[in-house]
Amino acid sequence: MTLGTQRRVQPRTHLTGAASAAVRPVLESARMPARVLATVSVGVYLEVRTQLEPSVIAMITGEATRLPNSVLLAGELPRVSVGDEAAVGDGVIEVGRYRVKARRWWDPSPALPSVGLERLARAVPAMSPQTSRRPGLEGNGAISLLAAGCAEASLVRAVSAAEQLVGLGPGLTPSGDDVLAGLLVALRHLGSAARVARAVWLADWLSAAVTFDARTRTTPISATLLHCAARGEASPEVAGVLRGIAGAQPIEPALRRLLQLGHTSGADLAQGLRIGLDSVLALGAGS
């Protein structure tokens, strides 16, 4: 018989959730170490030690913004602390006494109908709302340079501006990154829907530029979201605005929902979407 007090082993809590298809390659890879990067009332962010993306996975409740790197939990949020060790892979997430398995998958890439330039142009006034939610980098010269470079399909100007914006601003998702994320998904999806090949070409080049060294230039969470945006993956709020621009749903309520995100994140994303919309129109008219 063992002398002394034995340590009580806590029973493991099994959770299930609906996961973004963006995190599937990481979840289904071989088991990798991870750590708790951040915790908020509606989510736990894990940083996985991997070269794959997304390297940050968000486990969230239904009240959180459903980021494209999320696993939406069906049960309680794990009670863990920043720095706690975790593991991701072989189909599950393990952190503390919690074991999370995805039972369903959802696609973070919005599906848009084919659309003409005339339909896109009708959305321009709605994308300039009068609101107190202003972009965090409003008036910044790099924003103007980015808009001009994209409208002209000038790689030199667009890439130069994008490189100035990566990581620019405070917070877990700096304003510069949010603008770029909105721009990348707009160029890719609106360009594809309107059959403006130069917009998709521009999205490819800008995506390569902003993700090349994003892990060293911005926060881990924001770097992952840039990689997601580069693939055309976005939150439902961003997807809703894109569908509104394409005429698949009312745009005004979708834009209001987007603008409510964060302190300036929603306004920054909307600014990027507007630059993308203007660029698709300019590039389409010039082709």
pTM higher than 0.85:
yes
Q: Look at residue 8 and tell me if it is in a domain.
A: no
Residue 2 pLDDT:
46
What is the total count of domains within the chain? 2
Residue 5 pLDDT:
46
Residue 8 pLDDT:
54
Helix (H), strand (E), coil (C) string for the chain? CCCCCCCCCCCCEEEEEEEEHHHHHHHCCCCEEEEEEEEECCEEEEEECCCCCCCEEEEECCCCCCCCCEEEECCCCCCCCCCCEEEEECCEEEECCEEEEEEEEECCCCCCCCCCHHHHHHCCHHHCCCCCCCCCCCCCHHHHHHHHHHHCCCHHHHHHHHHHHCCCCCCCCCHHHHHHHHHHHHHHHHHHHCCCHHHHHHHHHHHHHHHCCHHHHCCHHHHHHHHHHHCCCCCHHHHHHHHHHCCCCCHHHHHHHHHCCCCCHHHHHHHHHHHHHHHHHHHHHCC
Residue 101 pLDDT:
96
Q: Look at residue 36 and tell me if it is in a domain.
A: yes
CATH number where 71 lies: 2.40.50
Give the pLDDT means over successive 10-residue stretches in the chain (287 positions).
49 92 96 96 96 95 95 92 96 95 96 97 90 85 97 96 95 94 98 98 97 94 97 98 97 96 94 98 90
The boundaries of the domain holding residue 65 are 13-106
Q: Are 95 and 123 in the same domain? A: no
Domain-terminating residue out of 51, 74, 106: 106
Q: Look at residue 4 and tell me if it is in a domain.
A: no
Q: Look at residue 81 and tell me if it is in a domain.
A: yes
Q: Look at residue 64 and tell me if it is in a domain.
A: yes
